Amino acid sequence: MGTPARGSNDGHTLGELAERFGVDVRGDASTRIHGVATLARAAAGQLAFLANPRYRSDLERTGAEAVVLREADAEACPVPCLVARDPYATFARIAALFDPTPALQPGIHPSSVVAADATVDPGAEIGPFVSIGARSVVHAGAYVGPGCVIGEDCVVGPESRLVARVTLVTRVRLGARVLVHPGAVLGADGFGLAMEQGRWLKVPQLGGVTVGDDCEIGANTTIDRGAMDDTVLGEDVRLDNQIQIAHNVRIGAHTAMAGCSAVAGSATIGRYCLIGGGAGVLGHLELADRVTITSMSLVTHSIREPGEYSSGTPIQDNRSWRRNAARFKQLDTLARRVKAASKDTE
Amino acid sequence: MGTPARGSNDGHTLGELAERFGVDVRGDASTRIHGVATLARAAAGQLAFLANPRYRSDLERTGAEAVVLREADAEACPVPCLVARDPYATFARIAALFDPTPALQPGIHPSSVVAADATVDPGAEIGPFVSIGARSVVHAGAYVGPGCVIGEDCVVGPESRLVARVTLVTRVRLGARVLVHPGAVLGADGFGLAMEQGRWLKVPQLGGVTVGDDCEIGANTTIDRGAMDDTVLGEDVRLDNQIQIAHNVRIGAHTAMAGCSAVAGSATIGRYCLIGGGAGVLGHLELADRVTITSMSLVTHSIREPGEYSSGTPIQDNRSWRRNAARFKQLDTLARRVKAASKDTE
Amino acid sequence: MGTPARGSNDGHTLGELAERFGVDVRGDASTRIHGVATLARAAAGQLAFLANPRYRSDLERTGAEAVVLREADAEACPVPCLVARDPYATFARIAALFDPTPALQPGIHPSSVVAADATVDPGAEIGPFVSIGARSVVHAGAYVGPGCVIGEDCVVGPESRLVARVTLVTRVRLGARVLVHPGAVLGADGFGLAMEQGRWLKVPQLGGVTVGDDCEIGANTTIDRGAMDDTVLGEDVRLDNQIQIAHNVRIGAHTAMAGCSAVAGSATIGRYCLIGGGAGVLGHLELADRVTITSMSLVTHSIREPGEYSSGTPIQDNRSWRRNAARFKQLDTLARRVKAASKDTE
């Protein structure tokens, strides 16, 4: 199936692509590319890539017009190829040429409601049914898609893009080129409560959210605003869908978090961390730079050293699991017995 | 309390219901039913059901006008009853008669914004504050509720229903009779990144999402579009709320997933699978047909055989759990010691 | 940075605050407060607080104008202070004076669409792009923010606040002073399915949702409506973001649940429970009052006694974890071996 090369009907020759992206051609440099596809499904006119060795077996049978790959794989390639040091990155750059996302159409849709003291740059596009609150600012080249709600004192930085139905509640400041997917909610009240005489007392959440340049925030992800200081994402932080970032959290630059992971209040995550899907980090902890947490692990203490960390138990057939899980409840007793026995036999 | 039989004030007699749904009446067939309720709370005029034996004790005290149940329970029933092979399914069909969901009112609400080259069938209903993008198509009998955003190149199949505030980002194709609950986001960018010289490079997501006939997609569930091929749900797939389906995932027909479960990129789930609440499936794995994953389990390798699978440890009082969990960290050492000791004593 | 004291430029003296909130001043009672901040970051004109002993070291260096603290900490405080029995609660009440949330502006935004037979009190504010369905009622002092969708037969109680883009699908009744954050969906269909001849049959969801007074519901949280009876939250229940509450669940008054936790269908949670982030409770269970579940634990059976409960394993470096996790799969065998060996040596 692949992807139609909409808006680029003439395509690009391998020679043009090689020059543009600084890679080498093997085979006919006049080969013309009209779109991209996976190695297994690519057809005539389409470019595929090989980066992960597990897909090498797809190479010889590929229907692709050409393939981006490493030097070491070039010999085995039955069609013309682009030889790159990092085929996946090169492919990503080429694929962007075929991305049919519509170009920005500056202006404010007549249905939208913009506060009198808000500022929208004439070079920004505001879609239908958008509401922009007092003192908020939308910079040039920004896109605020249909149904977005921007509250008071927010900033949408230059070339940032709120795809649709994004909410910036209040005091949310996005840097440049921030991409926010539908349903994300930034700047809602942090979960601050004090128990007083048997009832919860709400603690006002007076801080904001600061998001660095080049961040990406997934669909239905939530980032609460700080209680007093801001919740902060460094530059180039990448958050997948349905992630929960509590108030006062700080996430270092270039950290990536997979879907459904969560960070509790006032935790600090380092730079270049990788947080697996569904993983959790408790509040007030610190993670060093370059810490990797595997999927669905729970971090219950600060981690000072880079490296990979995990919790949980392996998946098993339910019958075996039940037997082992029942024994987990006896584990301390078991260990004491072994210890005692080993003393006996010493 | 039960449910008022709005729009069906005259109700239905047991005889009419028995004929319509192919079941038998015991007792007065002219008994008139005006609504449905649980066995424990039903009152005059209401029909209840008994399917799960755990609720059998509610039968003798029920205030229901009549009960749907199995042959074996009919004798113990103090009121007229409908005898069905599958009382729950029969009850579901009868209950649908009392569902007060308003009937479709074809037409496009004047507040909505439809692209010039989009196609809305005159037999579809488009609610207020809806935005429909270029080249998208809404078929006859479809309902697009308030605040929905439909981007470019989407299809809403016949009699499909987007309840409210649903987003179809781009290249999302829904089959017939698909039901999508509020806040769901289909077709957002998959989480595709390449690390290049210390910064993340976004990999364009050029595929779409294909959803088969009769699927149901829960509130705030997210289904990303494929990187190049589509993310695919077979027919009759049922997704609960807050589920995350990553790009390129394929889910087989009739599979049901409970709330907060997640499937990572490029995984393939078989037909008739049951995925428990909060369970996770890692990327690039395959699950055979008829695999059941229990709640909050993490699937870390492909599963080739049908059956039930689990991970995790049992819930305990925190003090006991702490002792056992501490021993988990010594488990390998413990096992080695036991092995060594058993050699000693051999 | 702290928080500007917008709309309260003159601030408040310590003396005024002490009188208003029933606490004592130490030092100059004419000290004027214009905002609040954390002990570590507070500057001139700002009030900070000290409640958690872990932050006591910040006290001597604080740049705060004044501090709220316990009697025992007053001596060590280098600036004027307010002495309170519960400094955090007192601080919360003072901070609310500096909350810049705009005051209610009663009236219905002209862009909104209100059903002819819906009732909106003249003292309520309805923001732009709001849709209100048949027979729904919005009481005095309530706020329905931009992009909210209220379906049929809903009630928004007095002084309740739907921040933005909240959906009340149908038959959702909110009490007084309920606060609902953006993206929350209340009253979507419960996940009710019956398998019939190889296909799923949808079970109509005819109940509603009842939310008691003073509840708070986080961003992108979902609360399904009941199958026949209502899903019920008692008064003063506090739900963080991205929580999933299935149909027919009942949650007792004053219970608080942290982000990403979930409760499956027909479970009953007691009063004053604390459910940790990412924790799950299976369906049809009961939790007694004052049960605490730690983060990411899974409750698989009813809990009858108050106390703290946990499941899971500790986080470790991945290499150690792999070794231990592998042994988990042999745990039953290991335990049998130990048992046999201890018999041997008896």
Kindly give the parts of chain C with pLDDT less than 70: 1-9, 344-346
Q: How many CB pairs under 8 A join A and C?
A: 239
- Same domain as B334, residue B242: no
pLDDT at C71: 96
pLDDT at C267: 98
In angstroms, the CA A293 to CA A120 distance is 40
| Inside any domain, residue B4 | no
CB B303 within 8 A of CB B309: yes
Among C183, C280, C330, whose Cβ lies nearest the Cβ of B220?
Answer: C183
Residues of B whose CB is below 8 A from C292 = 318
C341 and A341: CB-CB below 8 Å? yes
B278 and C300: CB-CB below 8 Å? no
CB contact, 8 Å: A76 with chain B? no
SS3 content of chain A, % helix, strand, coil (to 5): 15, 30, 55
- Same domain as B271, residue B140: yes
Residues of B known to be catalytic: 247
CB C234 within 8 A of CB B125: no
User: Which chain B residue shows the shortest CA-CA distance from A333?
Assistant: B324
| Inside any domain, residue B6 | no
Domain boundary (A81, A98, A115) is at A98
pLDDT at B3: 42
User: Which chain A residue shows the shortest CA-CA distance from C345?
Assistant: A341
pLDDT at B342: 75
pLDDT band at B340 (very low <50, low <70, confident <90, very high): confident
C228 and B3: CB-CB below 8 Å? yes
Interface residue of B244, B313, B331 to substitute, partner A, most A CBs within 10 Å: B244
A44-74 pLDDT tens trace: 999 999 998 889 999 999 999 999 999 999 9
C41 and A312: CB-CB below 8 Å? no
How many folded domains does chain B comprise? Answer: 3
Among B3, B127, B183, whose Cβ lies nearest the Cβ of C206?
Answer: B3
How much is the ipTM here?
Answer: 0.95
- Same domain as A276, residue A194: yes
From A140's Cα to the closest Cα of chain C, the distance in A is 24
Neighbours of C229 (CB within 10 A): 22
Q: Is the pLDDT of residue B1 over 50?
A: no
From A235's Cα to the closest Cα of chain C, the distance in A is 20
pLDDT at C344: 64
| Inside any domain, residue B71 | yes
Residues of A known to be catalytic: 247
| Inside any domain, residue C118 | no
Q: For residues C49, C52, C57 and C62, what is the CA-based torsion angle, rounded to 10 degrees?
A: -10
- Same domain as B195, residue B327: no
B215-247 pLDDT tens trace: 999 999 999 999 999 999 999 999 999 999 999
User: Which chain C residue shows the shortest CA-CA distance from A113?
Assistant: C128
- Same domain as A334, residue A274: no
Domain boundary (A72, A98, A124) is at A98
Residue A93 is inside which H or E element, if any? helix A87-95
Domain boundary (A98, A132, A154) is at A98
CATH of the domain at C174: 2.160.10.10
SS3 A89: helix
Selection from A162, B23, A107 nearest residue A151 by Cα: A162
pLDDT at A113: 98
Residues of C whose CB is below 8 A from B296 = 280, 296, 298
Q: Is the pLDDT of residue A345 over 80?
A: no
Selection from B101, B309, B15, B72 nearest residue A317 by Cα: B309
Q: What is the residue range of B47's domain?
A: 12-98
pLDDT band at A1 (very low <50, low <70, confident <90, very high): very low
| Inside any domain, residue B24 | yes
Selection from B335, B187, A2, B13 nearest residue C337 by Cα: B335
A127 and B129: CB-CB below 8 Å? no
Residues of A whose CB is below 8 A from C179 = 189, 202
- Same domain as B208, residue B304: yes
- Same domain as C286, residue C188: yes
Residues of chain B with pLDDT > 90: what percent? 93
- Same domain as B167, residue B21: no
pLDDT at B344: 64
CB C172 within 8 A of CB C152: no
pLDDT at C9: 62
Catalytic pick among C247, C254, C284, C301: C247
Residue C143 to residues A63, C166, C178, C181, Cα–Cα distance (Å): 59, 11, 10, 12
From C305's Cα to the closest Cα of chain B, the distance in A is 10
CB A289 within 8 A of CB A273: yes
Residues of B whose CB is below 8 A from C316 = 329
From A300's Cα to the closest Cα of chain C, the distance in A is 7
Residue position matching structure tokens 């036991």:
B338
Q: Is the pLDDT of residue B183 over 90?
A: yes
B297 and A317: CB-CB below 8 Å? no
A323 and C332: CB-CB below 8 Å? yes
B169 and A164: CB-CB below 8 Å? yes
CB B231 within 8 A of CB B247: yes
Listed in sequence order, the residues at least 6 apart from A18 whose beta carbon sits closer than 8 Å to its beta carbon are A24, A25, A29, A82
Residues of C whose CB is below 8 A from B318 = 292, 294, 307-310
In angstroms, the CA A78 to CA B70 distance is 65
Among C216, C236, C331, whose Cβ lies nearest the Cβ of A328?
Answer: C331
Residues of B whose CB is below 8 A from C113 = 109, 111, 128-129, 146
In this prediction, residues A225-254 reach a mean pLDDT of 98
- Same domain as C279, residue C185: yes
pLDDT at B10: 84
pLDDT band at B277 (very low <50, low <70, confident <90, very high): very high
pLDDT band at A9 (very low <50, low <70, confident <90, very high): low
pLDDT at A2: 39
CB contact, 8 Å: B132 with chain A? no
Average pLDDT over chain A, rounded to an integer: 95
A294 and C100: CB-CB below 8 Å? no
- Same domain as C268, residue C180: yes
From C154's Cα to the closest Cα of chain A, the distance in A is 23
C107-108 and B244-245 beta bridge pairing? unpaired
pLDDT at A62: 95
Average pLDDT over chain B, rounded to an integer: 95
Residues of A whose CB is below 8 A from C274 = none
Chains with 3+ CB–CB pairs under 8 A to A are B, C
Among B311, B323, B326, whose Cβ lies nearest the Cβ of A313?
Answer: B311
| Inside any domain, residue A136 | yes
A95 and B169: CB-CB below 8 Å? no
| Inside any domain, residue B116 | yes
Q: How many CB pairs under 8 A join B and C?
A: 237
User: Which chain C residue shows the shortest CA-CA distance from B39?
Assistant: C228
Q: What does the block give as tokens for B163?
A: 């309840």
pLDDT at C54: 86
Selection from A95, A71, A79 nearest residue A23 by Cα: A71
- Same domain as C179, residue C69: no
Residues of B whose CB is below 8 A from A147 = 129, 131, 147, 149, 165
B 168-227: CB under 8 A from A? 169-170, 183, 185, 188-189, 191-194, 196, 198-204, 206-207, 220, 222, 224
pLDDT band at B4 (very low <50, low <70, confident <90, very high): very low
From B1's Cα to the closest Cα of chain C, the distance in A is 7
Sheet bearing A35-36, strands edge to edge: A24-26, A81-83, A66-69, A46-49, A35-36
B129 and A147: CB-CB below 8 Å? yes
Residues of B whose CB is below 8 A from A3 = 206-207, 228
Residue B164 to residues A56, B130, B244, Cα–Cα distance (Å): 45, 9, 19
Residue position matching structure tokens 């959440």:
A205
In angstroms, the CA A219 to CA C321 distance is 32
Residues of C whose CB is below 8 A from B92 = 192, 194, 201-204
3-state secondary structure chain B: CCCCCCCCCCCEEHHHHHHHHCCEEECCCCCEECEECCCCCCCCCEEEECCCHHHHHHCCCCCCCEEEECHHHHCCCCCCEEECCCHHHHHHHHHHHHCCCCCCCCEECCCCEECCCCEECCCCEECCCCEECCCCEECCCCEECCCCEEEECCEECCCCEECCCCEEEECEEECCCCEECCCCEEEECCCCEEEECCEEEECCCCCCEEECCCCEECCCCEEECCCCCCEEECCCCEECCCCEECCCCEECCCCEECCCCEECCCCEECCCCEECCCCEECCCCEECCCEEECCCCEECCCECCCEEEECCCCCEEHHHHHHHHHHHCCHHHHHHHHHHHHHHCC
- Same domain as B68, residue B178: no
From C310's Cα to the closest Cα of chain A, the distance in A is 11
A300 CB-contact burial (10 Å; exposed 0-12 / middle 13-18 / buried 19+) = middle
CB contact, 8 Å: B87 with chain C? no
User: Which chain C residue shows the shortest CA-CA distance from A320?
Assistant: C329
CATH of the domain at C45: 3.40.1390.10
| Inside any domain, residue A2 | no
